[in-house]
Structure 1
Amino acid sequence: MMRLNLKFILGLLCLIVLATFSLWTQCGDSALGRSLVPKWDRRSFSGNQQPEQTEEIDCFINQEYTISCRKEGDEVYLPFSFLHKYFEVYGSLSTVDGTTRFDWAHSYGKVNYPKGVYDPRGIFMYFENYNVETFQG
């Protein structure tokens, strides 16, 4: 019967760490990793084919009320006015470089950057940048 000694355990540990590290660096390239991520259907975005036609359908929300939705292939699209009220998300249409896009936000929060170097004896955090009196939620 083989005795376990410190050198054997250390060598085994090094092999395990090496195998784990090599698998970790290759995890995005493995077939297993690709099979877990769903494929994005790019057919409707390619310039060679016509986009799929949409059809009006009724969406029954929580078995309480019905709203009008659209179906394109296997995808169902809900109106943003419903999403805005139901999930309290925000968005607006904007035009950038001649392209219309929809800017989506989960909250009205914005990043307030400091005006200077932080001084722990000064104003707490960055509350001098906030104006709570004009906040609209």
Structure 2
Amino acid sequence: MTVPDHQRWYGGALGKLATAEAAVLSCAAEHMELCVRTAAGGKPYGEEEEQRLGVIAREAIVQVWEALDQQLFRNVGSSAMNAGQRFEGLYRDMAMNASHPQHRLPRPDVPPTRPAAPRSRCHLRGSGR
């Protein structure tokens, strides 16, 4: 592979990672605005808003995983995957995260493996419960 090939792979990864970072920062800012509004006695942080932010966060995780798996993993070299190497740990952790059922899109042709656990949003509503 030539240097321009590596630059192309790096540029693709950089674009995905920058997009994911921007999405997470925007998501966090919007989450904070919703929490402040709720704590100030305004309209409560709703399910639709929570789902929307969750989908954005999930897409950021997908972008990072795709950058690691499709651009970086295939080009860092095998020594980067040796036990104890920084990239090996990153790849392992992201693979575990990406394979988590919460981060996969549901498929209508495959029944869920288990029912989703109920989630409490008390911490989001400022109720102190």
Give TM class, smaller chain: under 0.3
Higher relative contact order (CA 8 A, sep 6+): 2
- Bigger strand fraction: 1
Q: How high is the TM-score relative to the length of structure 1? A: 0.23
- Bigger helix fraction: 2
